[in-house]
Amino acid sequence: MNVEVRAIGLRTMRDRHHLTQRELARRLGVTQNYIPALEAGTRNPGPKLRQSLMELFECDFEDLFVVVMVNPITKTEQVLRPERSSEAS
């Protein structure tokens, strides 16, 4: 199984902060073509970029990303969900 981290919430967060793809790329120090690839799920952000995005948008991991297990043979995917705490507040 391969594990991928996909930036499924990136476009929504970028729109919410009124940033163009070009401006976001400039702030992150990546190429302009990288942002649409992240938004489309064809590229997966590495740990440093994930951290930079969470800091830039002041949000949690779950607001931007989803973790997916991909079977390399069948190409089937399973989204991994974080475990919920059973403690009552």
Q: What is the mean pLDDT of each run of 10 residues along the chain (89 residues)?
A: 92 96 97 95 93 96 93 92 61
Helix (H) or strand (E) holding 69: strand 66-70
**Which two tokens mark 84?**
């919920």
pLDDT the model gives residue 1: 86
- Listing DSSP states for 17-34 in one string gives TT--HHHHHHHHTS-TTH
Note the Cα 32 to chain centre separation in Å: 16
CATH architecture label of 2-80: Orthogonal Bundle (1.10)
Q: How far apart are CA 77 and CA 4, in angstroms?
A: 10
pLDDT the model gives residue 86: 55
pLDDT the model gives residue 89: 45
Boundaries of every domain in the chain: 2-80
Evaluate whether 62 touches 82 at the Cβ level (below 8 Å): yes
The pTM of this model reads 0.82
